[in-house]
Structure 1
Amino acid sequence: MKQLDDFYLNQEEPIKGMFLALKEIILKQDKDINNVLKYGMPIFCYKGKMFCYLWIHKKFKQPYLALVEGKHFDQPFLIQENRSRMKIMLLNTDEDLPIEKIETILEKALNLYKSGIIKV
């Protein structure tokens, strides 16, 4: 758990604050979501299945929330780039987190897992 905590604490502000806030938002979506460190990044799993993760875009230098099953969504704020399955939501460090938008897309993604479309 220390490595996971260190990941968040070693980020520079304002990314550190954004990631910590996102962690809380994601974890409160469902009691079966947990946060682990894999591949050097904080990954959130639903009943052991990868659900979403946080990272920083190399090109844009912006933090983002990645939805593992993002291909199922057509929201214009989700970007696919060269990924076949995942889509990301870039976050602007100069603005407040769009909490309602984040919670809505997380709820939709979680419903995919709960409905059985995504096997857990």
Structure 2
Amino acid sequence: MKISKLKTPLTPFQILFLIPLALFLLSVFIGEIVRLYRLHDERLAFSQLTEIDELFEELSMSQMFQKYGYDFRDKMGADERLSTGLEREYWIERKIPKFLFFLLILLYPGYSILTRIGDLVSQEKGRRV
């Protein structure tokens, strides 16, 4: 089986935009799968409670949301998380996709700006000589 080789080298657009885009999309899919597994485990633990325990659990969740805010999973202590049956949010769920999206936004435009500045500097040097 022959491996096809690239006829043309990779362009800066492909390296600085398409590769981070592919990594970003891959990390988003993996993060969503991990998040769904985490939520499934939490729902499974929640469904095994009695009705009275479920009511107390919902009340404590609303209190934690008011106390810690939107990202209460990360701000609450390990003991509180253990007692409520919550799991900590994994880094692949949000942090890595945010970082790759940041790279996606900055790399290619940054490269374009730097090449234009380099061209302007080289034109200025050519005029002085």
- TM-score for both structures, normalised by structure 1: 0.26
Q: Which structure shows the higher strand fraction?
A: 1
| Larger Rg computed on CA atoms | 2
- TM-score for both structures, normalised by structure 2: 0.25
Q: Which structure shows the higher helix fraction?
A: 2
